[in-house]
């Protein structure tokens, strides 16, 4: 606080003791503001670095130019194969009324409340394999989420996301948790955790700008429809790059989360070294949670199968080092989960090995023939290589009244 000077610009909102926003992000500090902040005992504020702002402007200009070229080519190709050159997005179905959705204070508050409860959900936090750092992660994660939801523009977009599709909103929450675990394990400081968390929460916000019928469908999309759906990456970037309190690195999570290691992804076909780190982390978390969730064309994979898929994708879809890091720090089967083994036995997860969290130690409570075990005994799946977990009972948090299988995966 001693180094504050008039003319500096706030990078994030300044919150009072009761969580009320005192000064919005992008506020230019004056002598009066600085004096008042010191009188109120505000210990720390976040100031924009002018060099970072220059770099942001340059990066945004470069990406915008590249998007204009890529989107134009994609649009022409789409309309040629569909046989309706000149057709607009609205011809593919109605677009959501974003302004009206932002005015829904109840939806915004509900979305923010659900997000703030995330660090206190023992069921979801059971997927965190951070050993002695779990308590620290909860505290840091809680502080970061609190700062994020107090940004009015971000909060409104979270409300829009939840109104658009509850399953998509829940998916974004799960991706945020997994990304946060990876961020902490990589020793991210508060600033980097904030940017990663914002990017993870809103990486799919571009989906809210697409024709409604493309989101709420329970069938395979046509090739032309999938081409439109892929536009959610650039649409999301356009939304985030213009929001106060959202860094360009956070916005890149929306743009690049479908890029892949060997350059087979979209929208630009970037190779691994050219994909920003936050977007790499979000991409792995996105695919993992998508795999363990049902889709209209398949059942959900077991967490073990999803982990095996990620491992096999190392240095093909994702960098192997990041995949290994993800697998070490995300617990596929939380302690106390009830699971069924490929042997037909039923057991309870008793211990999660740090090296292979998807192959836990299981306490057997029922034999394959249905007999209850009077004295449960343990099987270490890191040693029993011929036995795998075939299913988990009540895995994660299914949405009452929702059919997550209707959501397309791009």
Instruction: Report how far residue 201's alpha carbon sits from residue 152's, in angstroms, rounded to the nearest whole number.
Output: 15
Query: Which CATH number characterizes residue 24's domain?
Result: 3.90.105
404 is a domain residue: no
Identify the pLDDT of residue 87: 43
**pLDDT at res. 85:** 40
408 belongs to a structural domain: no
Domain match, 18 and 112 both: no
Report pLDDT for 286: 97
| Bond into 267 cis (ω within 30) | yes
Q: How many CA atoms lie within 13 A of 273 on its CB side?
A: 0
pLDDT of 33: 74
Same domain, 352 and 309: no
Residue 62, pLDDT score: 72
* Same domain? 43 vs 68: no
Residue 196 has a pLDDT of 97
Count of domains forming the chain: 3
The per-residue pLDDT for 7 is 74
- The answer to whether position 403 is within a domain reads no
| Same domain (yes/no): 150, 40 | no
If asked whether residues 378 and 312 sit together in one domain, one would say: no
Shared domain check, 227 and 304 = yes
- Cα separation, 329 vs 174, whole angstroms: 14
- 182's tokens: 């990876």
Q: What is the CATH number of the domain that holds 301?
A: 1.10.3210.10
Examine the domain organization and report whether 231 and 345 are in the same domain: no
What is the pLDDT tens value at each position of the chain, 410 positions in all?
567 877 777 777 777 766 667 777 778 777 777 777 777 777 777 777 665 666 666 666 677 677 765 544 333 333 333 333 444 555 667 788 999 999 999 999 999 999 999 998 877 777 777 767 888 888 999 999 999 999 999 999 999 999 999 999 999 999 999 999 999 999 999 889 999 999 999 999 999 999 887 877 777 777 888 888 899 999 999 999 989 889 999 999 999 999 999 999 999 999 999 999 999 999 999 999 999 887 666 778 888 889 889 999 999 999 999 999 998 888 888 888 898 999 999 999 998 887 777 788 999 999 999 999 999 999 999 999 899 888 887 544 433 444 444 554 44
Q: Which domain holds residue 238?
A: 52-329
Looking at the structure, tell me whether residues 28 and 75 fall in a common domain.
no
Residue 33 shares a structural domain with residue 102: no
Q: Are 226 and 369 in a shared domain? A: no
Cβ–Cβ < 8 Å for 234, 267: yes
Is the whole-model pTM more than 0.95?
Answer: no
Q: Which of 217, 189, 137, 187 is nearest to 403 (CA)?
A: 217
State whether 82 and 194 are in the same domain. Answer: yes
């Amino acid at each position: 606080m001693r180094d504050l000077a008039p003319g500096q610009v706030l990078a994030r909102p300044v919150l009072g003791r009761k969580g009320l926003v005192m000064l919005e992000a992008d506020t230019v500090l004056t002598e009066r503001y600085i004096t008042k902040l010191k009188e109120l005992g505000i210990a720390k504020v976040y100031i924009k670095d002018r060099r970072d702002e220059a770099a942001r402007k340059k990066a945004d200009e470069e990406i915008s130019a590249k998007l204009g070229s890529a989107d134009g080519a994609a649009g022409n190709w789409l309309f040629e194969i569909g046989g309706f050159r000149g057709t607009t997005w609205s011809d593919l179905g109605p677009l959501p009324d974003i302004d009206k959705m932002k005015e829904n204070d109840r939806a915004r508050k509900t979305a923010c409340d659900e997000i703030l409860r995330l660090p206190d959900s023992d069921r979801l936090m059971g997927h965190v394999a951070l050993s002695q750092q779990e308590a620290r992660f909860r505290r840091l994660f809680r502080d970061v989420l609190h700062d994020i939801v107090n940004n009015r523009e971000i909060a409104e977009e979270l409300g829009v996301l939840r109104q658009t599709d509850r399953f998509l909103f829940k998916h974004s929450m799960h991706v945020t948790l997994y990304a946060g675990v990876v961020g902490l394990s990589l020793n991210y400081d508060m600033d980097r955790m904030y940017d990663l968390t914002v990017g993870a929460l809103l990486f799919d916000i571009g989906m809210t700008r697409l024709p409604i019928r493309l989101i709420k469908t329970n069938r395979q999309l046509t090739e032309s429809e999938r081409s439109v759906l892929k536009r959610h990456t650039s649409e999301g970037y356009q939304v985030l790059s213009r929001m106060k309190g959202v860094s360009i690195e956070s916005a890149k999570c929306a743009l690049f989360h479908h890029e892949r290691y060997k350059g087979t992804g979209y929208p630009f076909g970037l190779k691994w070294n050219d994909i920003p780190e936050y977007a790499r982390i979000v991409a792995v978390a996105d695919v993992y949670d998508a795999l363990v969730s049902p889709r209209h064309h398949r059942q959900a994979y077991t967490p073990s199968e999803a982990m095996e898929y990620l491992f096999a994708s190392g240095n093909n879809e994702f960098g192997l080092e990041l995949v290994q890091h993800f697998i070490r720090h995300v617990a596929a089967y939380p302690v106390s989960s009830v699971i069924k083994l490929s042997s037909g036995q039923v057991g309870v997860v008793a211990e999660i090995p740090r090296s292979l969290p998807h192959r836990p130690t299981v306490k057997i409570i029922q034999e394959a023939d249905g007999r209850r075990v009077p004295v449960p005994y343990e099987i270490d799946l890191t040693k029993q290589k011929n036995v795998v977990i075939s299913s988990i009972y009540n895995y994660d948090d299914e949405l009452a009244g929702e059919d997550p299988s209707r959501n397309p995966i791009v």
